[in-house]
Structure 1
Amino acid sequence: MLLLTSLPVQAADINTLNWLAGCWQHDNAEAGNVEVWTRPAGGTMLGASRTVRDGQTVAWEYLRIEADERGQLSYIASPSGQTTTRFRMARLATHDVVFENLQHDFPQRIRYRQLASGQLLASIEGESKGQNRLIEFLLSRCE
């Protein structure tokens, strides 16, 4: 059962995202599909992801979560060498965080939620080609 008590977004401590740290592998995907996050330190968390299809890396992404001078957390994504995009934290609850950038093409929202099973449900959502889209990724801790 998830506790839906939200913390004030503007005063969020990056240490509240410690549950995201570690190596996560995509369930129902080819071996090598992983997302890895460091523990919070120095006001940042660093991450990387890799997507493998037919034994070849087809996408990768460098990630970071950092606090600005006001303590507002942002998720910064650099996918496969493309332009870096910043998503501001829109909501934080126990083991559940949403980052948002409504000006971005797709996605506009990125969410991480740890399930009672210990698995991580990551999702991207927003409007694409005039339609709302939601893509979910179920991840488990790497062994």
Structure 2
Amino acid sequence: MALKYGLILFSTPLLLAADAPALPDWLSGCWEARSDDRWTEECWMSPRGGIMLGASRSGVGDTADQWEAMQIHVETDAGAGNAQPLPSGHRRAG
């Protein structure tokens, strides 16, 4: 079964410390999960400018059947963060 915890973990708003908002820099980098012919790849850029950007794709064999663009950013006024997945070509809402 493909690794899907990233979507679950980052589909909900993140609450960060009000006095020192921080992005999850431990998430930076790339990894791959495989199960038989099914695969998932995910990469995250290092935090910069108050935002992290990520992308993933999943598929079977040589065919990608899902992709996702993600962002995690800090709203410095509120001291809170937000993570927004953008799965398989859907446009971000307002």
Which TM-score bucket, shorter chain as reference?
0.5 to 0.7
State the shift of 1:24 in Å. 1.3
1:53 to 35, 56, 60: 60
For 2:33, the equivalent position in structure 1 comes to 26
Does residue 80 of structure 1 match 2:88?
A: yes
Q: Which runs of 4+ in 1 moved over 6 A?
A: none
State the shift of 1:19 in Å. 0.6
Does residue 38 of structure 1 match 2:48?
A: no
Do 1:14 and 1:66's aligned partners in 2 also have CA atoms closer than 8 Å? no
Q: Residue 14 of structure 1: SS of its match in structure 2?
A: coil
CA distance 1:79–1:55, shift in 2 (3 Å): same
For 1:63, the equivalent position in structure 2 comes to 70
Paired with 1:42 and 1:29, the residues of 2 have a C-alpha distance of 39
Q: Residue 42 of structure 1: SS of its match in structure 2?
A: coil
For 1:14, the equivalent position in structure 2 comes to 22
Q: Which runs of 5+ in 2 are unaligned?
A: 1-14
In the comparison of the two structures, how many residue pairs are matched?
Answer: 77
TM-score computed with the length of structure 2 as normaliser = 0.68
State the shift of 1:70 in Å. 1.7
Q: Which runs of 5+ in 1 are unaligned?
A: 1-7, 86-143
Matched residue type, 1:53: V
TM-score computed with the length of structure 1 as normaliser = 0.47
Identity %: 32
CA-based RMSD: 2.3
Tell me: higher relative CO, structure 1 or 2? Use CA pairs within 8 A at least 6 residues apart. Answer: 2
